[in-house]
Amino acid sequence: MRYSKVCEITKIMFVFFQRNVLNVGLLNKKIFRLFIIGVVVLLTAFLSFELYNFFESTNSSQRQIGVILDSYSCSVFMWTFVAFIFVKILFMKKGSFLEFTDQMPVTKQEKNISILIFEICTALSVVIIFSLALIITLITRDGSAFITRIICNIFFNCVTIYFVFELLYSIFGIFCNYMGLEKVKNIIVICILSLLLVGFYLVIIPDVFLSILYTYKDNTGTASILFYMVVTEKYGILASTILFVVINSILGFLIVHIPNNDANCTNKYARTCRFIMKKSAILSAYVVSFLRKVDTINYYFIAVFSYLITIVMKIDKGYYVILILSLNSLYAYVETESLRNIIIQKKYSVVKDYCRIIMSQIIYISVLAIPVCIVDIFLNKEILFIVDLFVAIIFSVVFFTMAGILFPAKNENPFSAMVGIMFIIMIGLIAVSVCFFLKLNEKSIIVFMVLLSVASVSISIFGMNKLYGKLIHS
């Protein structure tokens, strides 16, 4: 393996990210970029201020803050896994994304390690974003006193945990390949790891948390489970850094040398819906285009698996997991381009096209939700929840489709999907904040959501008009 080639591919991926994410859709506008940065800065500043006041009001000592940082390692574990699942679901499309490397003189192994580096950077960014307020608070309050603890408990732990997850992912993937489950192996492995995580978090994490508290109570130093910090306290940060490099080099070596054919899986469609007539209506063609996608099968597998977990753990309203299928809406506009190009040759209407995109998704998600609804009716003896679920499906499809139009994922670019999801999360946070601060009642919240949906539809149609204009003049 040539590390210079790995560096070149990684640099190209960063350039690709800049050109295909930061220069696409709304992110191409400086005002919108400044707005996003402003929201992130204000939110981080607010959380940092609240944490600072908390530490000051409780008169926390450095030792107490140290044990809080040690306990935060449990949260780092959780956030790393969430980032891992998030990245894996998005990078299921990396075969098409990496088509630009097909003409480059690089090996499959060099491609895989470049993807791994990029995935780790993404996961680490997620963990740092969620930890940023705490980091700023500690640096502002105590200076460099907790720098080594932050490095060991957040940075080192995050990277090592991600490597462990990636190794398990690769090992389980070998068995799936052996069983001939290449197309759905990503989802199967994700579900297995999720199940292991649930067991780990319910059984092991509480003991880890208690051991950290007991070591603080007994004044016996840092818990041995935080081995990077233990090594730092005994031998210094240089020793723990060397240990970090050695451990992750071994894990990385094992991951890279495990056979992985993910980048070659470019077949996006399954042989389904063959019962549909060739001369079907346009709306039926849109519905079939979604049902035939391998991604739809993958997301449905995740939704059903998650629903079964909610049943076992007796979690209320588990039927909402079917909304996972709405993630396909991020690619709805791009995935229907071939149909759109045919319609444009005859008579095209942006409004009609938008209605077809929305209606087709609502239809196929509602159809796939029927088994879940039947099981829930049988278990809970209720039927009115179907109305709530149907409304939730409509809202999720409308909002995620808007994100897919504003940040079109050309060539199944997973980074545009990331930006789209972050955009939806931001809208959700703003909506929750408005409802909270204005103390809206249930009817007012419904009216607010309807108005938000109308705005989303208007923005989506406006965005499709812009994209249509670019297509006509290209």
pLDDT value, residue 301? 81
pLDDT at 91 over 80: no
Model pTM score: 0.65
Banded model confidence at residue 246, pLDDT cuts 50, 70, 90: very high
Produce one character per residue of 431-446: b if its CB has 16 or more CB atoms within 10 Å, e if not: eeeeeeeeeeeeeeee
Neighbours of 449 (CB within 10 A): 14
CB-CB contact of 256 with 109 (8 Å): yes
Highest mean pLDDT among 52-61, 242-251, 319-328, 421-430: 242-251
CB-CB contact of 169 with 88 (8 Å): yes
pLDDT at 269 over 60: no
- Do 48 and 171 reside in the same domain of the chain? yes
Instruction: Supply φ then ψ for residue 349, to 5 degrees.
Output: -130, 125
On whether residue 272 sits in a domain, the answer given is no
- Do 83 and 218 reside in the same domain of the chain? yes
pLDDT value, residue 95? 52
- Do 436 and 310 reside in the same domain of the chain? yes
Higher pLDDT, 102 or 392: 392
Residues contacting residue 332 through CB under 8 Å, at least 6 positions apart = 290, 357, 361, 400, 401, 404
On whether residue 215 sits in a domain, the answer given is yes
Q: Is 416 exposed, middle or buried (0-12, 13-18, 19+ CB in 10 A)?
A: buried
User: Rounded to whole angstroms, what are the CA distances from 300 to 232, 268, 306, 323, 324?
Assistant: 45, 15, 10, 9, 8
On whether residue 183 sits in a domain, the answer given is yes
For 283-292, how does the pLDDT look when each residue is reduced to its tens digit (9 = 90+)? 888 888 888 7
Percent with pLDDT over 90 in the chain:
4
pLDDT value, residue 275? 45
What would the mean pLDDT of 134-155 be, rounded to a whole number?
Answer: 83
Higher pLDDT, 268 or 82: 82
Higher pLDDT, 188 or 46: 46
- Do 70 and 187 reside in the same domain of the chain? yes
Banded model confidence at residue 277, pLDDT cuts 50, 70, 90: very low
pLDDT at 94 over 70: no
pLDDT at 228 over 80: yes
CB-CB contact of 233 with 149 (8 Å): no
What is the dihedral angle through the alpha carbons of 25, 30, 31, 35, rounded to the nearest 10 degrees? 90
On whether residue 310 sits in a domain, the answer given is yes
- Do 304 and 256 reside in the same domain of the chain? no
pLDDT at 460 over 80: yes
> What's the number of domains the chain is made of?
2
Higher pLDDT, 274 or 413: 413
pLDDT value, residue 278? 46
What would the mean pLDDT of 32-45 be, rounded to a whole number?
Answer: 82
CB-CB contact of 81 with 165 (8 Å): yes
pLDDT at 7 over 70: yes
Instruction: Give the residue numbers spanning the domain of 60.
Output: 3-264
pLDDT value, residue 184? 67
pLDDT value, residue 443? 82
Higher pLDDT, 221 or 318: 318
Highest mean pLDDT among 140-154, 199-213, 381-395, 399-413: 381-395
- Do 236 and 297 reside in the same domain of the chain? no
Straight-line distance from the first to the last Cα atom of the chain, in angstroms, rounded to the nearest whole number: 41
411 CB-side CA count, 13 A: 14
Mean pLDDT, the chain, as a whole number?
78
pLDDT value, residue 242? 92
Last residue of a domain, one of 205, 230, 264: 264
- Do 236 and 367 reside in the same domain of the chain? no
pLDDT value, residue 276? 45
